[in-house]
Amino acid sequence: SAGGSDWRQKVDVSVLSNAETGPTQFFVYLDRQADLTGAYTRTAKAAKSRYVYEQLTSVARESQGSVVDALEQAGATHQSFWITNAIVAEGGLDAVEAVANLPEVEHVYGVGTGRLEPPVPVDVPGGTTSTNLTTAVFDGIAKVNADDAWALGYRGQGAVVAGADTGVRWTHEALKSRYRGWDGTTASHDYNWHDAIHNPDPTNVCGASSTTPCDDDTLIGGGHGTHTVGTMVGAGPPRAGQKNEIGMAPDAKWMACRNMSHGLGVVPTYLECMQWFIAPTKVDGTGADPSKAPDVVNNSWGCVEGCPPPALQDTLRASRAAGIFYAVSAGNDGVGGPGPAAGCSTIYHPLARYPEAFTVGSTTWTTDTISSFSSRGPVLLGDPPSQVLLRKPNITAPGSSIRSALRGSDDRYGNLSGTS
């Protein structure tokens, strides 16, 4: 080849070994990345989003052509991204060599897998339902004084929050009226829902590329994505013995993207949702509109294996430049080794490790102490000699035995524990 054996220096060892035996998935990361600093001179969020979208898409359009050509000549399938300038492909060693030989390709990574931070056994028994109906406020909400903010008139009105998770049961009584796609009479899922899971799985209740919001979590927490959206905005009707005002910002609207199947994802599905949030589309994928981007994204997954680190940080930087705030689960890996530092430095996985993420740990609302499972900081980021020590998590709040909506039916609720 033109580059001799030098091209192998640009390829992850795992990709090389997998490609020796047949087609494998790989992540082609280009050296040219968009300059988004101009976004910070714009004050309106819609203007930031539009600027970021135009910069990112033009850089991808201008620089990916030769990579796409090389992949197609090698018979490799591929999916282009613009939120980071990268292409995910599947092909053999000849395809890997063809792209690694191109000067504009910085590195070829493995695709990498991630998983939901699964709910964990609770620290404290019950206490999340009560027969005392003098207040409709659930204990965790009172603990952070959200009800005081409500009394001042701040209930999340005007804000749009997004769930990047297992999907959402949008018809749940605590969520339906807060769904941005519901006008009180009819539903429109355009710009409000995207399904990044495209491979048919006969055991998955949502199928593939679902055109309506759906939560596929039948195993991990009985509706993890529904539960987290409920924690953001949920408010169900009061019933004897139940506190159904479960959401921190009950007057905000929500939208969602499913990026996991049965709680497991891969980097391409995560990137697809993050990209879609910057410029949501109609259900059929057309009509990208950055003005429909959410204000906040709640992110519960961690990339646990073979992650392309610069690409994941690019996506966060792009999102923040577009005016999107990322609230990210710290992880549930806190119960750790012996000694006084037990559980420290247990925020292992992106995105929670990055300075651009607002990383959230868990406390118990009964005792207001850190939950045993909650991952703790600090985080050591980067390579020597330029390593930095980050104080993480950025905030902690009640995460043990939290009552919220579940996917089982339109009036199902339950308690889950975790940093999500």
- Residue 132's pLDDT is what? 38
- Residue 4's pLDDT is what? 55
Residue 125 scores a pLDDT above 50:
no
Amino acid at 116: L
Residue 133 scores a pLDDT above 60:
no
Residue 287's pLDDT band (cuts 50, 70, 90): very high
- Residue 280's pLDDT is what? 98
Give the pLDDT confidence of 152-163 residue by residue, as tens digits.
999 999 999 999
Give the pLDDT confidence of 176-232 residue by residue, as tens digits.
999 999 999 999 999 999 999 998 788 899 999 999 999 999 888 899 999 999 999
Residue 2 scores a pLDDT above 70:
no
Q: Tell how far CA 102 is from the center of its chain.
A: 31
- Residue 293's pLDDT is what? 98
- Residue 219's pLDDT is what? 83
Residue 339 scores a pLDDT above 60:
yes
- Residue 128's pLDDT is what? 36
Vertex 181: Cα angle to 177 and 183 (nearest 5): 55
pTM of the predicted structure, to 2 decimals: 0.93
CA atoms of 221 and 219, how far apart (whole Å): 6
Residue 124 scores a pLDDT above 80:
no
Residues facing 305 on adjacent strands: 113
Tokens at 142, concatenated: 């009172």
CA-nearest of 362, 276, 288, 284 to 324 is 276
- Residue 340's pLDDT is what? 66
- Residue 337's pLDDT is what? 57
CA 321 to each of CA 51, 152, 284, 289, 350: distance values in angstroms, whole numbers, following the listed order: 9, 30, 26, 16, 18
Cβ–Cβ < 8 Å for 42, 53: no
Over residues 284-310, the mean pLDDT reads 93
Least confident interval from 63-67, 131-135, 254-258: 131-135
CA 58 to each of CA 48, 51, 89: distance values in angstroms, whole numbers, following the listed order: 16, 11, 21
Give the pLDDT confidence of 23-48 residue by residue, as tens digits.
999 999 999 999 999 999 999 999 99
CA 236 to each of CA 15, 223, 239, 413: distance values in angstroms, whole numbers, following the listed order: 49, 16, 9, 10
- Residue 272's pLDDT is what? 97
Least confident interval from 4-18, 82-96, 129-143, 398-412: 129-143
Give the pLDDT confidence of 372-400 residue by residue, as tens digits.
999 999 999 888 888 999 999 999 999 99
Give the pLDDT confidence of 92-115 residue by residue, as tens digits.
999 999 999 999 999 999 998 888
- Residue 336's pLDDT is what? 63
What burial letters (b/e) apply to 312-323, b meaning 16+ CB within 10 Å?
bbbbbbbbbbbb
